[in-house]
């Protein structure tokens, strides 16, 4: 049972962040890694909105707006890169994208 206070919301945000980070570390499919990155971003938005609510100001909310925009742009460009990479290397497994090795 998570208490519905600021700390509770922050706990949810933290857990989301942790899950996203775990996914970034553990998954080998680049696309899934990307999705987990989105989880991380979403976690930060939750934290921002929680702070904004419990302090009675609007700035957090506005900032979430920006985060959403940036995330969208980032996803677009990132996926374009992945597609270009896939055309070249025929794979999106992270550990096979290692031509910079040594």
Partner 1 sequence: MSPALLASGVLLAPLAAAAVIAFGLRRAPGAATAVALLAAVLVAVGSLVLALGPARDFTASVELLRLGTFGLSLGLKFDDLAALLLAIVGIVGLCVHVFSVGYMREDPDRARYFGGLAIFMFSMLGIVFADSLLMLFIFWELVGFSSWLLINHHFQRTPAAEASKKAFIVNRVGDFGFLLGLVWCQAQFGTTQLDALAKAVDGGAVVAAGLPLLLFCGAVGKSAQLPLHVWLPDAMEGPTPVSALIHAATMVAAGIYLLCRIHFLMVPAALEVILWTGTITALYAALCAVTQRDIKKVLAYSTLSQLGYMVAAFGLGSLKVAHGDHHHLIAAGVGAAMFHLTTHAFFKALLFLGAGSVIHACHHEQDIFKMGGLARRLPVTFTTFTIGVLSLIGMPGLAGFFSKDAILYLAWAKHPGVFAVLALTAVLTAFYMVRLWRITFLGAARGEGAEHAHEGGPALTGPLILLAVLSVIGGYGWFYSGLLGGRFDGVIDSVVHPAGADHTLILLTSVAVLVAGALGAWLLYPAAGEDAVARRAPRLFGLLGGLQASFDRAYGAYVAKVQQRLAMLLNFLEQIFLAGLIVRGLAGVVGLLGLGARALHVGNANAYAYWFLLGLLALWAFAAGLLSF
Partner 2 sequence: MGELTFNLLAWFTLLSAAGVVINRNAVNAALCLLLCLTGVAGLFVVLEAYLLAFVLLLVYAGAVVALFLFIVMLLDTSGAPRALPRRLPLIARVLAGGLIASGVLSFSARAKLPVSEAVAAAPGIGGALKPYAYQLFTTYLLPVQILGFLLLAAMIGVIVLSKKFEGLEDVK
Contacting residues toward partner 2, per CB under 8 A: 1-12, 14-16, 18-23, 25-27, 29, 31-32, 34-36, 38-39, 42, 45-46, 49-50, 52-56, 58-59, 61-62, 64-66, 68-77, 79-84, 86, 91-93
Cα dist. 9→3, 66, 74, 81 in Å? 8, 21, 26, 34
CB of residue 72 vs partner 1: minimum separation in angstroms?
A: 22
Rounded Cα gap, residues 66 and 48, in angstroms: 12
CB of residue 24 vs partner 1: minimum separation in angstroms?
A: 5
Between residues 20 and 101, which has the closer beta carbon with respect to partner 2? 20
Out of 16, 33, 47, 50, name the contact with partner 1 by CB under 8 A.
33
Q: Residues 67, 63, 41, CA angle at the centre, nearest 5°?
A: 30
25 interacts with partner 1 by CB under 8 A:
yes
Task: Using the structure block, give the residue that is written with the tokens 């976690």.
Answer: 43
CB of residue 65 vs partner 1: minimum separation in angstroms?
A: 25
What crossing angle do the helices spanning 6-26 and 30-55 adopt, rounded to 10°? 170
Rounded Cα gap, residues 75 and 34, in angstroms: 8
101 interacts with partner 1 by CB under 8 A:
yes
């Amino acid at each position: 049972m998570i208490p519905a206070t600021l700390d509770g919301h922050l706990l949810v945000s933290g857990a989301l962040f942790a899950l996203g980070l775990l996914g970034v570390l553990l998954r080998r499919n680049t696309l899934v890694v990307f999705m987990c990155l989105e989880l991380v971003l979403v976690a930060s938005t939750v934290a921002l909105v929680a702070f904004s609510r419990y302090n009675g100001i609007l700035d957090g909310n506005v900032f979430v707006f920006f985060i959403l925009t940036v995330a969208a742009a980032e996803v677009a460009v990132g996926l374009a890169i992945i597609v270009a990479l896939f055309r070249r290397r025929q794979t999106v497994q992270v550990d096979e994208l290692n031509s910079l090795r040594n």
